[in-house]
Structure 1
Amino acid sequence: MYDHPAQHAANDRLWGEIARILRARGVADVPDRLDRTRDVHAIWRDPALLFGQACGYPLLADRALSLRVLALPVYDAPACGRATHASLLVARADDGRDSLAAYRGTRAAINDRLSNTGMNLFRATLAPIVGEGTFFADVIQTGAHRASVVAVGAGAADLAAIDGVTYAALDRFEPALTAKLKIVARSPESPTLPFVTAAATSIETVAALRIALDLVMADPGLADARAALFLAGHEPASAAALAPIAAIEATATAAGYPVLA
C-alpha cells in the first residue's frame, strides 16, 4: 500500500528476504517478485494471495473480502503511534481559511469511498462540526492519496484527508507537492493498514509468514530498507484489532454524519 516509486527498491528488498525465509520453511509457490500489475482490490480478492497489505475499512465494510490479518505495522512518521496512524486534513498553503469549520461549502477530494484514511477518518473529523445537512458543495473521488494532494494543490479541490504515512513519503520524495499545502487538522487515530494473507492460507504458512515478519523487522541489514518505508516494527494482530475503525464510523453516524458529503 505504501509503494512510492522511490520506495520500490526497499519494498523489493524486504519481500526478497521474506520470500527466502518462507522457502526455507517449506512454503511452496512463493513469488519471486511483488505484483505491481493489478489494482489492489483485485489482489485482495485473489484466493491465492500469499502476503499483502490492505486498508482496514474495506475489510470491515466489504463482506466479499476474505482475508486473514497477520499483523499491524508500526510506522515512524508524523501522525503515527504504536500501530496507529491518523490522517492529515490538508488545504492549499495560500488558502486564507484558518479553521476547519471555514471549509463548509467548499470542495473535498477523497481517494476512495471505502478508504479509512481518505474517507472514514475524514468523516470522523468533520462529524462534530457538521450539524444538519451536508458540509461540502462537492466531493470528488481521485483514486489515490497522491492524486488528492495534486487536486488540492492545483485548486481542483479545497480539502482532503491524507494518510499520515503517505504524506510523509510525499514530503520526503516529492516535497514540491507538499510545499503547496498546509495542514488544517488531524483526524482521530485508528489501526494502521494490516498485513494480510488470503483466508484460505494454511495455518502452517500463516505461522511461517509471522516468523518472516519478525525476522525482517529485526534484521539490522534491512534497517535502511525499513527506514525508507518509515517502518519501525509490527504488532501481531487478528481482525479484532480493526474494531476501532468500525467504532469511528459508528461515532460519526451517531453524530448525524453517516455519509461524507
Structure 2
Amino acid sequence: MSRWTATLPMYNVTPQHGRLWRALLRDALEAFARAGGPGDFVILEEAPDELMPLWRRPDLLLSQTCGFPYRMLGLQEAVHLVATPVFDAEGCEGAHYRSAIAVSAAAWARGATTLAACRGLRAACNGKDSHSGMNALRHAAAPLARDGRFFSSLIWTGSHLNSLLALSAEAADIAAIDCVTLAFLRDACPEKLRDVKIIGMTALAPGLPFIASRALGDRLGALLFDALESARQADAGRARSLRLHGFARLASSDYAPIEQMAQFAAELGYGELR
C-alpha cells in the first residue's frame, strides 16, 4: 500500500473523547512505524457515514467495528482481528461488555421497572447492525415476546446518544445502551442521563474489536497490538479518561456468542426486534 488509512469511530461520545481516541491512535501508529510497520498513513478526523466500506478497505491500517458486523455480516472474513479493548466500566468483564437497559423516567414512574413490565412500550435503537443496541436487546426480550412482538413501536436513532435523547424527550420509552458509552456520558455530561433510569443489563458479549486489513498480515498485526498497548501506557491520564484498562487478544471464534444470541432469539420466533 502506498498510504494507509486509520480511524476509531465507535466511542467518540463527546468531542473530548474523540480527541483522546485520535491522540491514542496517532501515538500507536507512530510506535508501530518505529517497530517496522507502515509509516505512511492518514488518520481520518471523522469517519464516513457508511462504515462497512471503510472497514473493508484494503488499505485499512486500524479501525474499530461492532461485534455484530464482524461476526454476522461477513466482516471477519475480510479483516485482521488486532485487539479487543478492556474497559473499566460498570457492565464490563475483561474484554467483554453488556448493554444497560434504559427507560425514560416517565416510563419508570408508570411502572416500567423491569423488562417484563416494558411490554407494549416504544423502543429506540441506534441501528440494525448494532449488537449493543439491537441484538442484545432482542436476545433479552425474546423469551417475553408474543407472536414475534414485544414493543408497540420501534424508532431507529443512529446512535446511542440519540436513543438516550429520545428517552429524555419521551419520544421513546426503552433502549439498550452500550455500557462503555454510558460510562463516558456519566463522566462527561451526566445531565444527559437525568431523565433516564437503568432497569437491567443484557447478557455478556465480546467487546468491539480493533481491526485492520488482511493485507497487514499476522506479524505486523502482532506488532500493532504491542503498539496499542505501548500508546495506552504512555499516557496514564488519557487511559483513565478513556477508561481503557488494556487490550486483549481474542480469536474470531470468541465472537460466536453474538451469533448465538441472534440464533436464540430466532428460535423463539423473535428474529426481528419489534
The answer to whether residue 136 in structure 2 is matched with residue 124 in structure 1 is: no
Of 76-85 and 98-107, more deviation after overlay is shown by 98-107
TM norm structure 1: 0.93
CA contact (8 A) 1:127 1:257 kept: yes
Query: SS in structure 1 opposite 2:254?
Result: helix
Tell me which residue corresponds to 2:261.
Answer: 248
Partner Cα distance (2:58, 2:171) in 1: 38
Query: SS in structure 2 opposite 1:94?
Result: helix
CA contact (8 A) 1:15 1:34 kept: no
CA contact (8 A) 2:99 2:133 kept: yes
Task: Name the aligned partner's letter for residue 106 of structure 2.
Answer: D
Tell me which residue corresponds to 1:9.
Answer: 19
CA contact (8 A) 1:2 1:229 kept: no
Structure 1's 82 and 37: CA in aligned 2 closer, same or farther, altered over 3 A? closer
Write the mapping of 1:184-195 to structure 2, written as runs, cut at 5 A.
184-195=199-210
Task: Name the aligned partner's letter for residue 2 of structure 1.
Answer: Y
Task: Name the aligned partner's letter for residue 268 of structure 2.
Answer: A
- In structure 2, the gaps of 5 or more residues are 1-9
CA contact (8 A) 2:125 2:157 kept: yes
Deviation at 1:32, TM superposition (A): 5.0
Write the mapping of 1:1-261 to structure 2, written as runs, cut at 5 A.
1-4=10-13, 5-39=15-49, 40-63=51-74, 66-95=78-107, 96-97=110-111, 98-217=113-232, 219=233, 221-261=234-274
Of 17-26 and 174-183, more deviation after overlay is shown by 17-26
Deviation at 1:234, TM superposition (A): 1.3
Q: Deviations over 1:142-171 (max 9, x none)?
A: 111111111111011111000000111112
CA RMSD of aligned residues (A): 1.7
Deviation at 1:200, TM superposition (A): 2.3
Q: Deviations over 1:39-68 (max 9, x none)?
A: 333321222110011101111221267212
Count of residues in correspondence between the two structures: 259
Partner Cα distance (1:16, 1:213) in 2: 10
Q: How many percent of aligned residue pairs carry the same amino acid?
A: 33
Query: SS in structure 2 opposite 1:182?
Result: strand
Deviation at 1:33, TM superposition (A): 3.1
Task: Name the aligned partner's letter for residue 67 of structure 2.
Answer: G
Partner Cα distance (1:30, 1:85) in 2: 34
Query: SS in structure 2 opposite 1:171?
Result: helix
Partner Cα distance (1:74, 1:210) in 2: 13
CA contact (8 A) 1:88 1:164 kept: yes
Partner Cα distance (2:114, 2:12) in 1: 32
TM norm structure 2: 0.89
- In structure 1, the gaps of 5 or more residues are none
Query: SS in structure 2 opposite 1:42?
Result: helix
Deviation at 1:216, TM superposition (A): 2.5
